[in-house]
Amino acid sequence: MQKISALAPAALRDGAREPADQAAANPAVKNLFLVMQGCYGSLFLSKFATGVLDDQGRDLGVRAAMRVWRTTLAKYTPDVIESAVARLTAEHPDYPPHLPQFEAMCRAATPRRTHAEEHGWLALPAPNAAPVHVQIEPQGDGKDWARRIVARVQAGDQTLTRAAIRAAMQALGMEGWPR
C-alpha cells in the first residue's frame, strides 16, 4: 500500500495527463468533491487550489487532490462512500474533513463481518425445532402447569430446563428422572 505522501507529488505532476476513463472510474469520489464544494464552498477548494490550470481551465491542485482521494478511497465500495457523504454535515458542520477524517467515516460506514465470515467458515443451518403440542385434561387442582411440563418431556421436548422439570415432578409427587 502506498502512503499518501508518496501519491501527492505524482498526482500533482500527472493531474493534467489523467485519462478521462480513469477520472470516471470512481464516480463516488467525484460526487464527494461536488458535495463538499456545495457544502463548504471555497473553504474546501482553497485547501487544494494551486492556481495552475490545465488546458480545460481546471485547477491542477484540485485534480491532484481528487486523484489522491480516489486512490486512497478505492478500497471502499461506492455505497460506503455515499453513506459517509450522507453523514458529512452532521459530523463536520463547520469545516470540511481532511482525507484521514473522511477515511475514518468510511471505515465506520463499512458493514461489519462476523468472525466466521472473516475466516470463510460456513454458517450452521438454522435449527429445525418443531413446537411440541401437548394435550392434557385440566384437573383444576392448580397442578396443570406441572402436567404440561411432564407431558412435554415425555413427548421428547429438550428445551426445558432441569429446574423446571424437577419442580414439575415434585409438584406431582413423582420420583426419579423421566426417561
Residue 27 grid coordinates: 464516480
With CA atoms as reference, report the closest residue to 38 among 83, 74, 88.
Answer: 88
Number of Cβ atoms within 10 Å of the Cβ of 159? 9
Q: DSSP letter at 98?
A: -
Q: Does the pTM exceed 0.85?
A: no
CA distance 42 to 170: 80
pLDDT at 106: 93
Q: 25-34, 140-149, 158-167: lowest mean pLDDT where?
A: 25-34
The dihedral through the CA atoms of 135, 139, 140, 145 has a sign that is negative
Distances, alpha carbon 108 to alpha carbons 83, 101, 111, in Å: 10, 11, 8
Q: What is the mean pLDDT of the chain?
A: 82
Percent of the chain with pLDDT over 70: 84
Which ranges of 87-177 does DSSP label H, i.e. alpha helix? Answer: 88-91, 99-109, 115-119, 144-154, 162-171
Q: Which of 24-28, 52-56, 83-87, 161-165 has the lowest mean pLDDT?
A: 24-28
Q: What angle do CA 16, 34, 76 make, to 5 degrees?
A: 85
Burial of 4 (0-12, 13-18, 19+ CB in 10 A): middle
Q: Which residues contact 72 (CB under 8 A, 6 or more apart)?
A: 4, 7, 99, 103
